[in-house]
């Protein structure tokens, strides 16, 4: 099987300049899918095109030689390096190229993924193509700017549910085989073509617009997960989101039906295939979903809905402008969540979660501008990162503050009107926005979109001092672009009785120094989190935050404050134990599940990465005790009179219950209680299936040599209880997490096992590098094996799997110098692989600085 070639921007630009597509028909014969001995399926792709050259190169990943016809006759064609070169075209004349090939069923979430379900013995199929995996399923020009109408036809076992982007036009059965022909799509890119097939569970409904348009709705999942499908929530959010998007974007939903399916072993959260959105099945909880988990699902649903316009209706020409879909979808998903769902604090969740992901990515040596330079597809895959998603969304929120909401959405509406079903770039969007706002947006775009790294806004002597730096430049520019910031500043009088607001003002930061109101008061800069910058409070504000944070109102102000403390901890300006002490002092009084989740996750990171090893037991155990008390308190409604509604108390209790599962991983002395919960029913709570696996992994990681046999016996019982593929994958994590050198060496041997699914690889990695037992992996010098394996993984596995291994297993590395030596000796290694190692080396050195700071503070 040839390797998937790394498509370059230069090749894509040449093809888009020389090829015009008229139509693309695809037939997939999936009748053999239930037979696990059949590794391939037959794919027939018929492309109607006009070329200005006598030959074309068409992308395809297949086994054996494909059959190629040109206008119904056998073509002169060669197949090599994932491309079919077809000769003999007449420039300027319309031709039909038909390519029939044997393509491979996938098990790593790329191309056409095949899932054999051990629970019901059935087979389930789904496709995932972003950015260039459509070529694994059919011959095509696998780039975003060669759009075409797609006519899909699928032959599958009779009785299966088969869906694609468009409505089914015709279906005919012949014995055990049914062939379904779908209507032509509107012009779309290859990466959002979608097919699902299998005996999926189906829920149907419809949305009726105010003007009487009917949009068919459906929800799908495996039957085994049907009882976990929150149909009422999903349909309510969908029916609220569609009219919101239509009104804001000034354009009706264009794709006819709106279907959503949850699929197993998915590599990402969800994918915006028009008319048929795919979601990761892990959104369907095998127990009680926390409020944060439900909010994450609503946000993802609305994120993908935004893509129906941003990305699907108007598409970037190449992956340089990936932000034109992902930044906008992240922004819209959060804004819509706040306005049309029950999650009115969606921006709080964003600020403590995804925005922190952005700051982390933006402080790496590999950071890049939001509008990035993407020379090839490997670089494109690497740029689905915190900058493209969350920094871009943060900057768009700042843009709304800068130009006003009305002007922003007027520009968006004009952008869609001008470029519907076509491709558009940054220049096109800025033109529409400039016209709508009456402002020249070029300087704003240069400052915010074409430079990298976060600004730093520091409170010094009654002024706000701005420092800007283009982190992506080899040398800092002499005059870095000055980003304008529009933000809120609130000043307070802080006493033991609480925080008294003195003043709240919008200010525009356009100079290096900006006077602040109420000099001398405690000042919260960027209250309500409108801009994107690292905020460094003054000493008085730091003291107020660490001493009185629980009393700060409202919730979004507390979230901003927690974020500023976390920045200081990560940057080694605030000792890690001071951050942890502040969490333990104030988080028990927190009534926002979003804040509990966001802050406690950071606490876990602080303990495992930013504290010396000798301090981790003390602080890990401390979180367990605080979470246990907070959980039982949250269940006691009498102590939470403000939470008169039982659902609010339950939301908070579930949040603390989830924190307990995290704390179990870092709390050695809690393991007797963990075992009691697994043995049940007399433990702290009765864990659901996924919680049981998380707790069992923690048990394994903390187990001493004398407990290994006990853990293995518990694992055997758990596998009898949970016979799902998810359970089988989690068992790999338990075995790999065992705190013995032999367990780590045995697990390491499986890193080269290509039969593992993507979910099994993720579990293997998580177990090997569990923070409570990774020292065992380090003690047998897996660092050397890791460095020796990097290029072999990259050259022999898909980029998705190789990336999981390269990034996930970096935890076995203890010496940043050794990893840097590998980089120095492998300057010709693939850029995307080097980027992973560079980033992980930087994170390791950041952690070392924080640990040194913590040690110094402890010795004072």
Catalytic residue ranges: 304
Nearest to 353 by CA among 536, 623, 559: 559
Integer Cα distance of 616 and 607 in angstroms: 6
> What is the DSSP code string of 392-420?
HHHHHHHHHHHH-HHHHHHHHHHHHHHHT
631-to-583, 591, 860 alpha-carbon distances in Å:
16, 12, 35
- Contact assessment for residue 148 and residue 187, using Cβ atoms and an 8 Å cutoff: yes
Q: Which residues contact 264 (CB under 8 A, 6 or more apart)?
A: 115, 117, 124, 222, 281, 725, 726, 759
Integer Cα distance of 206 and 183 in angstroms: 19
> What is the DSSP code string of 731-756?
HHHHHHH-SSHHHHHHHHHGGG-TTS
Secondary structure in 3-state letters for 135-162: HHCCCECCCCCCCECEEEEEEEECCCEE
CB atoms within 10 A of CB 170: 10
Q: Which 8-state DSSP code applies to residue 310?
A: B
* Strand-strand pairing, 19-29 and 83-87: unpaired
Integer Cα distance of 847 and 7 in angstroms: 36
| Displacement of CA 486 from its chain's centroid (Å) | 28
Cβ burial of 309 (10 Å; 0-12, 13-18, 19+) is: buried
- Tell me the Ramachandran region of residue 198: left when phi exceeds 0, alpha when psi lies from -120 to 50, beta otherwise: left
Output the CA torsion sign for 740, 743, 746, 749. negative
Report the number of secondary-structure helices (H) and strands (E) in the chain.
28, 29
Distance linking the first and last C-alpha atoms of the chain = 62
Integer Cα distance of 567 and 534 in angstroms: 7
Helices (H), 365-514: 377-382, 392-403, 405-419, 426-437, 442-449
- Contact assessment for residue 449 and residue 434, using Cβ atoms and an 8 Å cutoff: no
- B/e letters for 516-547, b = 16+ CB within 10 Å, e = fewer, are bebeebbbbbbbbbbbbbbbbbbeebbebbbe
């Amino acid at each position: 099987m040839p390797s998937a070639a790394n498509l370059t921007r230069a090749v894509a630009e040449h093809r888009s300049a020389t090829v015009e597509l008229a139509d693309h028909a695809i037939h997939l014969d999936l009748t053999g899918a239930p037979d696990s001995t059949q590794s391939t399926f037959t794919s027939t792709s018929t492309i109607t095109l006009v070329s200005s050259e006598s030959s074309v190169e068409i992308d395809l990943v297949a086994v054996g030689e494909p059959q190629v016809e040109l206008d119904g006759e056998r073509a002169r064609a060669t197949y090599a390096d994932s491309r079919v070169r077809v000769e003999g075209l007449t420039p300027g004349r319309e031709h039909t190229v038909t390519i029939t090939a044997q393509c491979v069923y996938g098990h790593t979430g790329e191309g056409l993924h095949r899932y054999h379900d051990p629970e019901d013995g059935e087979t389930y199929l789904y496709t995932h193509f972003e950015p260039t995996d459509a070529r694994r399923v059919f011959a095509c020009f696998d780039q975003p700017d060669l759009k075409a109408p797609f006519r899909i036809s699928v032959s599958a076992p009779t009785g299966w549910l088969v869906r694609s982007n468009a409505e089914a036009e015709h279906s005919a059965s012949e014995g055990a085989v049914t062939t379904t022909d779908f209507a032509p799509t509107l012009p779309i890119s290859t990466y959002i073509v979608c097919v699902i097939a299998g005996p999926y569970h189906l829920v149907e409904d419809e949305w009726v617009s105010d003007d009487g348009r009917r949009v068919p709705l459906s929800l799908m999942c495996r039957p085994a997960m049907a009882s976990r499908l929150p149909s009422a929530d999903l349909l309510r959010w969908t029916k609220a989101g569609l009219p919101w998007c239509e009104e804001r974007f000034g354009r009706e939903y264009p794709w006819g039906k709106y279907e959503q399916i949850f699929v197993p072993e998915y590599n990402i959260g969800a994918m915006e295939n028009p008319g048929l959105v795919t979601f990761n099945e892990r959104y369907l909880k095998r127990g009680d979903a926390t409020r944060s988990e439900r909010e994450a699902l609503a946000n993802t649903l609305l994120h993908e809905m935004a893509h129906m316009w941003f990305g699907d209706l108007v598409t970037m020409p190449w992956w340089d402008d990936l932000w034109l879909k992902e930044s906008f979808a992240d922004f819209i998903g959060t804004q819509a969540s706040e306005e049309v769902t029950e999650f009115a604090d969606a921006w709080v969740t964003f600020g403590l979660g995804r925005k922190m992901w952005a700051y982390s990515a933006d402080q790496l040596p590999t950071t890049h501008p939001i509008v990035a330079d993407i020379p090839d597809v490997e670089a494109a895959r690497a740029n689905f990162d915190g900058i493209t998603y969350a920094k871009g969304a943060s900057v768009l929120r700042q843009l709304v503050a800068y130009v006003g909401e009305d002007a922003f959405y007027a520009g968006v509406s004009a952008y869609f009107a001008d470029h519907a079903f076509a491709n558009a770039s940054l220049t096109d969007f800025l033109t529409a926005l400039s016209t709508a706002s009456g402002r020249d947006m070029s300087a704003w775009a240069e400052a915010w979109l074409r430079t990298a790294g976060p600004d730093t806004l520091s409170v010094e002597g009654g002024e706000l001092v701005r420092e800007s730096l283009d982190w992506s430049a080899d040398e800092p520019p002499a005059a870095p672009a000055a980003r304008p910031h529009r933000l809120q500043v609130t000043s307070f009088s802080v006493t033991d009785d609480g925080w008294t607001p003195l003043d709240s003002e919008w200010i525009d930061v356009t100079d290096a120094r900006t006077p602040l109101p109420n000099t001398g008061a405690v000042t919260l800069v960027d209250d309500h989190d409108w801009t994107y910058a690292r905020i460094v409070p003054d000493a008085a504000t730091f003291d107020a935050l660490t001493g009185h944070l629980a009393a700060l109102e409202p919730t979004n102000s507390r979230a901003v404050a927690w974020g500023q403390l976390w920045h200081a901890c990560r940057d080694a300006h605030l000792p890690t134990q001071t951050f942890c002490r502040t969490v333990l002092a104030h988080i028990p009084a927190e009534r926002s599940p979003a804040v509990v989740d966001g802050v406690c996750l950071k606490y876990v990171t602080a303990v495992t990465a930013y504290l010396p090893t000798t301090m981790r037991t003390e602080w890990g155990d401390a979180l367990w005790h605080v979470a246990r008390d907070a959980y039982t308190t949250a269940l006691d409604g009498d102590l939470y009179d403000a939470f008169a509604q039982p659902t609010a108390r339950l939301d908070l209790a579930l949040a603390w219950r989830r924190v307990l599962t995290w704390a179990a991983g870092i709390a050695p002395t809690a393991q007797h209680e963990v075992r009691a919960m697994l043995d049940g029913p007399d433990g702290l709570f009765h864990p659901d299936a996924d919680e049981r696996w998380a707790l069992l992994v923690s048990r394994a990681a903390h187990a001493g040599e004398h407990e290994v046999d006990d853990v293995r016996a518990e694992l055997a019982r758990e596998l009898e209880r949970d016979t799902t593929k998810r359970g089988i994958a989690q068992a790999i994590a338990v075995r790999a997490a065992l705190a013995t050198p032999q367990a780590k060496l045995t697990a390491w041997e499986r890193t080269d096992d290509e039969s593992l699914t993507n979910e099994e690889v993720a579990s293997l990695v998580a177990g090997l590098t569990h923070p409570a037992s990774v020292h065992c992996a380090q003690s047998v010098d897996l660092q050397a094996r890791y460095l020796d394996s990097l290029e072999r993984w990259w050259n022999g596995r898909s980029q998705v799997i190789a990336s999981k291994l390269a990034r996930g297993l970096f935890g076995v590395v203890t010496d940043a110098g050794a990893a840097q030596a590998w980089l120095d000796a492998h300057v010709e290694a693939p850029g995307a692989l080097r980027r992973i190692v560079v980033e992980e080396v930087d994170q390791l050195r950041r952690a070392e600085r924080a640990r040194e700071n913590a040690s110094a503070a402890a010795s004072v």
